[in-house]
Amino acid sequence: MRKSLIIIVLSGITIIMLLSILYFYISNKDVYSSYNKINIKDILIQDEEEYLVYFYMKDCYDCRIIEKDFIENTNKLKCNIYVVDLNEWGNVGDAYNWQKHHRDYDKEIGEIDKNGNKVFYTNESESKYIDGNLKDKNNKKISYEIIESDTEYLEKNSNAKLGKIYAMNNTPYIDINIINGEELKIPGVPMLLKVLKNEIKEFYFDYEVLEYFENIS
Of 185, 204, 195, 190, the closest CA to residue 64 belongs to 190
Neighbours of 207 (CB within 10 A): 14
Q: Which residues of the chain are modeled with pLDDT < 50? A: 9-10, 17-27
Q: Distances in Å between the alpha carbon of 106 and those of 116, 128, 167? A: 22, 14, 6
**Burial class of residue 179 in the structure, from the number of CB atoms within 10 Å of its CB (0-12 exposed, 13-18 middle, 19+ buried):** exposed
pLDDT tens, position by position, 65-102: 888 888 888 888 889 999 999 888 666 656 789 999 99
Q: Distances in Å between the alpha carbon of 80 and those of 75, 118, 193, 196? A: 9, 49, 12, 12
pTM of the model: 0.76
The whole-angstrom distance between residue 146's C-alpha and the CA centroid of its chain comes to: 19
pLDDT of residue 72: 86
- Helix 61-73 to helix 207-214 angle (10° resolution) is 20
Measured distance CA(46)–CA(194) in Å, rounded: 12
pLDDT of residue 137: 87
SS3 of 86, please?
Answer: coil
Count of CA atoms in the C-beta half-sphere (13 A) of 27:
9
Contact 166, 157 (CB under 8 A): yes
pLDDT of residue 3: 52
pLDDT of residue 17: 46
